[in-house]
Structure 1
Amino acid sequence: GTSSPIFVQGSARGTLIDCELYENSARDGGALAAGGSARIRFDNTRVRNNQASGCGGAVALLQDGGVDIGAGVLIEGNAAGEYGGGICLKPRQSEGGACLSDPHGEAALQVIEGVGDLVLRNNQAAMGGGGIFVECVDEASRLSDILSAIFASRRSPAGGGTRRVAHPPAVECSGNWAPYGQCVASMPKVLRLEGGEEEGDHPGYVAGGPLRVRTTIRDAFGQAVLLGPSGGDPTGTGLIEAKALDGEGNVIMTAFQSFNPDGVADFSLTGTSVPWPSVTTPDGQRVYAQVTLRLSLLSGVSLPPLELRLERLPCPQGSSYSTYHSKCEVCPENTYNIYSDLTGCFQCPVGGICLGGVFRARTLGSKWVIEGGRYRLEECPAGHIITHVREDASQDQCVLCPRGKYQPDRAVLGETPHLVSAGAAGGAQPCLE
């Protein structure tokens, strides 16, 4: 049915002793639901094999009520179509979705110290919180002993299995299942970047390069939330929107990325890139804009956006910054670049080989120096002369002496004769007979 077999409303107080609640069904709270400020205590009670199409396969707290766990309480084999396979805590909220304070100062779920003994076993929830789901955890009063105990013990290496907390309250959580939070979970709480970056950090980025941003949604217990029809978000949308903003707040890029089955939205998989605007001052200096990345969740769950200010990294060797496209671009074939952020790509000298924007000398033993951001030939090995045109660095090369002539010493620019153009190599070479 739609209503729980046991529904307690108003300010009622009740105790279930030596009871068995099994094979019931309802919308919320398969066996029991409490509304208003009602409070129920369980002692030596078993709640087994109940179902809820919504929240709380066994028990649901729908407003400001609460449950006290006494001795010998077993919640086993229950199932929820949404959240909280065993227990669901859905306190009343304000219109803005903020959690309201508990007017009585009581925990919504309390395991009685020194007496309480709770076993949560083999419960399941289709969206989150196999054992317990807590919708509202902003206030400390609702983080009761049981939640603290389960949260502290949930970090077992296997990520499942039996987890027992020896100190009071005694809690066992084993064999429960949900897409996230097999023992305890909450609604999505924050967006977080995987890989160490947090809000306030300045991750490095090469303009126009792949945006290597991996984003997850975390609940209040730090667990990755899985979105979609089978986890975390009944709307099933689960998209992350990335907007890049310049220093004036103008949007310079917008991209979208869905979550993979592990709950990660990885923008590098779709080749997302961010342009980096710049301006040139009257004195010829290039000034780069400040770029901020804003990540927002587009789904039925409302979360605050995550903002990161990107730190611009220099263009890699063999590329140059394009003021037209506002990004780093690989140098064209047969060109090179040394200072990628300061100059464009230059024509490869005749005496060099340029691959991938990187220069290397064609003649073994030749010596090249950097002048004005370009490679210039300074020395050639014995048996060669230098071709050097002051106004055209692309003509620099070492020319081998023709048959019947020689050059015993290294050719040094400014110390030995040199050709002033490549065309002079045919007849006016200053090699010795």
Structure 2
Amino acid sequence: MVGISGNTAAYGTVYAGSAEEVVVRHGPELPYTPDDVGHYRPGDLFKTSLQLVDSFGNQILNTDASGTPVPPPYTVRADLRDPAAPAGDAPIFTSLFKFGADGKCNLLDTPFQLIFPTTPGPGGVLTFKDDLVLYHTIVEPVNGVQLPAVEVPITRLPCSINQAFSQTLKECVDCFPSQYIINRDGACQDCPPNGGSCNSSHLTPLQEGAVWEPVHSIGKYLLRSCPAGHMLVNSSDGDSTGIFSDEAQHCKACLPGTEYVNRPNSQRCLPCPLGGVCDGSSVSGIEGSEWEEDEAGHTRLIRCPAGYVLVRNDNPTQDQCVKCPKDKYLYEDAVWNPGPGIPNLVSPDAVAAAQVCLPCEEGLDCAGGNDIYQQPGFWALFEDGDSSRRQAAGNATGGVNASRILVYQCKETACTGNSTCSFPCPNNFTCAPGRFGPVCGLCRPNWVEAMGVCYFCNDDQVNAARTVAWAVGIIVMLLLWLGISWRPLIIGVKIENETSQPKTIMDHFSKVLGYQRNANLGPDSPAKPGIPPSSL
């Protein structure tokens, strides 16, 4: 007995008693839609569902004599073929499937995996065969007729984002949480233990700033760049120059205080110079020192501040600024490879560095470095850079000249020295108050010198002093004028009574000028006997 189901005839309920066609079923309960019925990932199970319909589109059901549904007496052969293969080639896959009592042939009821043919490509990357077709054929004739096969084009989908294609199983397999995958048709890769963290699909760098590049040709992440203060490691030798090791990839931090690196992607961590302070990514030194990277990637010392000798040789770890010891000094910067006219204050080792320093001059107290103090009674100045009196700075550098401090002796009342302010002390603190200039020999403006000491005068005192000076000057000039004008009238005679007091103002003037007059004698009168004439 034959039943019908799902009548789709356009002109009402009709009955047809023979199967005319096999078709692919569609419906919400099926694992595909009309658009993706042929989409498969490697290893997916064949999933099409078939049914027989009559000429009106009605599904054919089969029942026994009692009306109980029974499977239709037909077999479906599924063949996976390459349409481009030569005729007569065996199918890639073939298998037989049965109809169920519901009148449907569901390939999922007899699970078989779809295995895509592969060929190895460059770098071991597999190439999958595309443009395959899955043929569904009713093996037995239906009502004496061989029904046409149902063709479903197969489209290969890549594995899921956290899956890889297993060449052994020929299917997509899940990656472990400690792995990652770049090529979804490739293989799961182990996460570099010191370089990243993985979640079965991606790699996240452990070091902030590290750059990992996905290289699809090999299906792996490669460490390309490390952040400052880290060296790139990708070999079993512990650096980036040995034989590549995927597991060894990581950015190794240089030890702060003892190491640094200038070229993280191609250089090992370097030992910190003796005179440097390292933070892993850079080198610095004492205040006033300067460092620069050389052609080999080492940070080298190129300048030391005044009071220090630059120590440098072929070993970058020996670079340092060595301070001049007590009773020696240098007041110029030490420069590596100085130009013309600049002293070469460089030593090949720290032991010989003191020989480069100048001996302390008489009249100075040298505490070491450029801490120089003037003693009372001495005055100092810098030597002219072009002076012929430059002094050879020892033998450690071949006797290259270094400028010295010139010291002159002066009065302690003028040159008081300074034991707290290092030479050259600002504002002439080495001179007595109110003094300045060479050997502190001048008084500053509004200061006057008296008995070797400069005294400060305010404006009122200066104006009063000027007034007194003008008054004294006028009086002196008046006295001189009076003496010269009255000289012809003054007669130098001895007054009879030498003990008598002057009687008039002229008597006072003649007394002051050393003369006495005789009231009885005129200018032309003859002298009395016993009285010598005036010498005037």
| TM-score between the two structures when normalised by the length of structure 1 | 0.44
Larger radius of gyration: 2
Which structure is richer in relative contact order (CA contacts within 8 A, separation 6 or more)? 1
Normalised TM-score (structure 2): 0.37
Structure 1 or 2: more helix by fraction: 2
